[in-house]
């Protein structure tokens, strides 16, 4: 398996992209991300494909169905399967959503957890148990949401900080989700980012979305990243440094050649704040420290 440490810019390992990635794996892609639920039971050609990429780049596992905020017991049998999968492919980092997604079965949506003190204790205990079973420290992702539970006892940022402290886990910061929620609920996204504990932020997501109305954005991961979200990433790097950052594209997936400029843009924002070149990366028409709108 690939032994190099996680850094730089990554891309989701989508099956639509595998032929092009196998034909020519770009230097710009430092790591891949996948949902373990979609790969656990794969054999044959898909299993060989995954091993092919795991031998060449680090892999991040980003879970979809753990239901950390739910009330049903944790699916520990599933977690043990995930643990074996992570070990098999040398996957060190596992992240999950700070949400709930099950009620006597999977709901196929990520729903908001009420921002209450009881919820902090409940979710934190489930995260600690998850870490014990996976034998890894995990990172939780701030989720996008569209209805704020009325029983909240604290703000979203206070809730996230409290869960991180109670669970002693890391933060997977989705910059686009911060922007989406800031428009939908009318808060300052930079103030929200500044409230996040820098020492716990180990991983970032960037993505596009769909603007349904002036005050309603739907988090689709189905379009290019817009300039205000790039500006928030720049602000985040200025504050905390340059954690590994993934470009999410889960819907309306274009050819690899159309996605790569966004991955390169992540690299050049990272270079602006770290002063480091990416080895072997030679994007046409860009110079060190220069960032252009390429989305």
Query: Per residue, what are the HEC states of 2-59?
Result: CCCCCCCEEEECCHHHHHHHHHCCCCCCCEEEECHHHCCCCCHHHHHHHHHHHCCCCE
pLDDT at 96 over 70: yes
| Higher-scoring residue by pLDDT: 229, 99 | 229
Q: Is residue 295 part of a domain?
A: no
Q: Is residue 282 part of a domain?
A: no
pLDDT in the model for residue 185: 93
Q: Is residue 291 part of a domain?
A: no
Number of domains in the chain: 1
CATH number at residue 36: 3.20.20.150
Q: Is residue 2 part of a domain?
A: no
Q: Is residue 261 part of a domain?
A: yes
Q: Is residue 72 part of a domain?
A: yes
The fraction of the chain above a pLDDT of 70, given in percent, is 88
Residue 79: give the domain boundaries.
9-274
Q: Is residue 100 part of a domain?
A: yes
pLDDT in the model for residue 108: 47
Q: Which pLDDT band, with edges at 50, 70 and 90, does 198 fall under? A: very high
Average pLDDT over residues 12-24: 96
């Amino acid at each position: 398996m690939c032994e190099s440490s996680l850094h730089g810019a990554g891309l989701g390992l989508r099956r639509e992209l595998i032929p092009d990635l196998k034909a020519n794996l770009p230097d710009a892609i430092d790591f891949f991300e996948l949902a373990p639920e979609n790969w656990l039971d794969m054999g044959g050609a898909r299993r060989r494909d995954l091993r092919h990429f795991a031998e060449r780049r680090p892999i991040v596992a980003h879970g979809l169905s753990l239901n950390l905020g739910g009330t049903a017991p944790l699916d520990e049998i599933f977690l043990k399967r995930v643990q074996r999968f992570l070990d098999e492919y040398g996957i060190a980092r596992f992240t999950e959503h700070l949400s709930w997604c099950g009620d006597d079965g999977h709901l196929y949506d990520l729903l908001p957890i009420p921002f209450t003190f009881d919820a902090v204790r409940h979710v934190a205990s489930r995260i600690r148990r998850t870490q014990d079973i996976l034998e890894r420290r995990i990172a939780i992702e701030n989720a996008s949401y569209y209805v704020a539970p009325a029983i909240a006892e604290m703000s979203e940022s206070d809730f996230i900080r409290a869960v991180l402290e109670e669970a002693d886990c890391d933060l997977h910061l989705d910059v686009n989700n911060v922007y989406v929620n800031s428009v939908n609920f009318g808060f300052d996204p930079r103030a929200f980012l500044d409230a996040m504990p820098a020492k716990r932020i180990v991983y970032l997501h960037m993505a596009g979305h769909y603007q349904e109305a002036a005050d309603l954005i739907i988090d689709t991961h189905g379009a290019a990243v817009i300039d205000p979200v790039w500006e928030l990433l720049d602000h985040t790097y200025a504050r905390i440094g340059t954690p590994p950052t993934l470009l999410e594209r889960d819907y309306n997936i274009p050819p690899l050649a159309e996605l790569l400029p966004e991955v390169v843009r992540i690299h050049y924002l990272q270079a602006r704040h770290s002063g480091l070149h990416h080895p072997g990366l030679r994007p046409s028409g860009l110079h060190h420290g220069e960032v252009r709108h390429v989305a």
